[in-house]
Structure 1
Amino acid sequence: MTQSIVVQVGQCGNQVGCRFWDLVLREHAHVNQMGVYDEALSSFFRNVDQRRGAVSTGGRITALKARAVLVDMEEGVLGEILQGPLRSLFSSTQLISDVSGSGNNWAVGHHTYGLVYREQIVDQVRKAAEHCDCLQCFFLIHSMGGGTGSGLGTFVLKLLEDEFPEVCRIVTSVYPTAEDDVITSPYNSVLAMKELTEHADCVLPVDNQSLVDIVGKIQHMSNTGKLGCAIKKDCTIISGQGGVVKVEKPFDAMNNIVANLLLNITRY
């Protein structure tokens, strides 16, 4: 029985991550209708008996807790998570945040916040690892254009290598479009790329413009009634409801595509 830990960094990383958790729960609810805590659920969730404060290793599902660490230097997205439909999956100690953000500056995220929050991040990752019988890999989700995602995200990646050198590190990196409104995003991306090449075992690059184009094509097909049998109108590829908040947001459809990518590579 192997487990994986998801580390979500920055606004984009946490939004994509929460779409991933939502899709995982939907999939398991569909195939595991008896409510049994099985090996598949164990890969990404702990089963906790909240009355006794104990961890259950089998039997009925009592309370699922995600094997995850959520990091952002702004409180917005993490605050929505604690108030949204997925709030029961995370304890407050799994969420690490600040209030001012990284100012779209790779150096602020990497050097300033990295040094400030190093011990807290390491502590939470270690606690998550201690709950695993056989830790197989880390999934890091972040963006390349923002200061926290690119700077602190790659700092966390190096931390994972230092603390758990034998554990595989799979990184999902969302790259900005050429027309990105963050003027520093090209610099952030270049600096983050160097860290990825040195510390990641596998990188799944996701082009933001490609996501925009895919969502546009799906919506066009949906409006013209040409989705066909491959994509249903309310399927999880294009439906963003039920994740971070109950009301669908503009980026949810794009985040869903990335979350589905992660979900498909973690199936076995």
Structure 2
Amino acid sequence: MGQTTDPRQPFVGLRAIVTGGASGIGLATAQLLAGQGARVAVFDLPGAVSDLPEPLVGFGVDVSDDDTVVAGVAGVVDAFGGIDVLVNNAGIGAQGTVADNDLDEWRRVFDINVLGIVRVTRAALPELRKSEHAAVVNTASVAATAGLPARALYSASKGAVQSLTLAMAADHIREGVRVNCVNPGTADTPWVSRLLDRADDPAAERAALNARQPHGRLVSADEVAGAIAYLASPLSGSTTAVALAVDGGMQNLRLRPLDA
């Protein structure tokens, strides 16, 4: 088929799921996709989806619970008639060295950050395979590719997300399903704000995080959403197996200090 998609509204007629879509990067993504024409279902914990802005449709889904995932995907199919785009954004953070979190915490973070992607994707795959514009976008992190202090557990989980993305892309490209991921730098999200609030000197900690990124500030949720929308768009039909950094140059640039 020839490409007739309107570049201003590339998602018209498409149906999307965004996990972890009630706040932060997920909410920004859900609103952007809806603004570009998609019908968007938000998967998040039941208490988080009760007051979503229109036209988003909320489903109470815990990505660590297979029963709610399967029910949520079935609900989207009933409501929308199918699924074209899946954004696996749900995740939790973790701090500490390899010795600082017990094994239960390691299992919990991997269960949400990695197995959550597995649960939702495998439930959605039968519908994605039917779509002419099927796309999956996973949210990884710069922590997958850069060694960050006191982020051992989080980094390991996001490294797994990036590797899983590549394997999924290989498995499903001949089924017409593109799979990519975004690697945000430190983003100005509610989770990061909570970390800053717990710091001894929140202002100094924010300044340190800003300085760590070459462009001198935190990444915005809207910037990450824009990258996700690009990867998910029918206009990007030849883009697959890509890990797109949205990190202000944190991973790849090596700038001299300003006072050098």
Q: How far apart are the structure 1 equivalents of 2:124 and 2:85? A: 8
Unaligned runs of 5+ in 1: 29-39, 45-66, 103-108, 221-250
Is 1:257 paired with 2:208? no
Which stretches of structure 1, 4 residues or longer, exceed 6 Å deviation after superposition?
Answer: 210-215
Q: Is the 8 A contact 2:26 2:89 kept in 1?
A: no
2:154 to 173, 185, 194: 185
1:169 to 116, 127, 135: 135
What residue is the counterpart of 2:122 in the other structure? 158
Question: Percent identity among equivalent residues?
Answer: 10
Is 1:71 paired with 2:22? no
What residue is the counterpart of 1:96 in the other structure? 60
Q: Is the 8 A contact 1:71 1:97 kept in 2?
A: yes
Paired amino acid for 1:71: F
Q: Is the 8 A contact 1:69 1:124 kept in 2?
A: no
Kindly indicate whether structure 1 or structure 2 has the higher relative contact order, using CA contacts under 8 Å at least 6 residues apart.
1
Q: How far apart are the structure 2 equivalents of 1:126 and 1:182? A: 37
What residue is the counterpart of 1:139 in the other structure? 86
Q: How far apart are residue 156 of structure 1 and its match?
A: 0.7
Query: Using a 3 Å threshold, how does the CA distance of structure 1 residues 199 and 260 change in structure 2: closer, same or farther?
Result: same
Q: How far apart are the structure 1 equivalents of 2:186 and 2:32? A: 23
* Per-residue CA distance 1:55-84 (angstroms, 9 max, x = gap): xxxxxxxxxxxx223223474xx25xx44x
What residue is the counterpart of 1:247 in the other structure? none
Paired amino acid for 2:17: V
Unaligned runs of 5+ in 2: 6-11, 94-108, 170-177, 189-208, 236-260
Is 1:8 paired with 2:18? yes
Q: Is the 8 A contact 1:72 1:96 kept in 2?
A: yes
Residues paired across the two proteins, number: 174
Q: Is the 8 A contact 1:145 1:176 kept in 2?
A: no
The structure where strand makes up a greater share of residues is: 1
Q: Is the 8 A contact 2:140 2:158 kept in 1?
A: no
Q: How far apart are the structure 1 equivalents of 2:211 and 2:18? A: 24
Q: How far apart are the structure 2 equivalents of 1:129 and 1:261? A: 24
The CA RMSD over aligned residues, in Å, is: 4.0
Tell me the TM-score normalised to structure 1 length: 0.49
Q: How far apart are the structure 1 equivalents of 2:213 and 2:152? A: 25
Q: Is the 8 A contact 2:141 2:185 kept in 1?
A: yes
Q: How far apart are the structure 2 equivalents of 1:214 and 1:129? A: 44
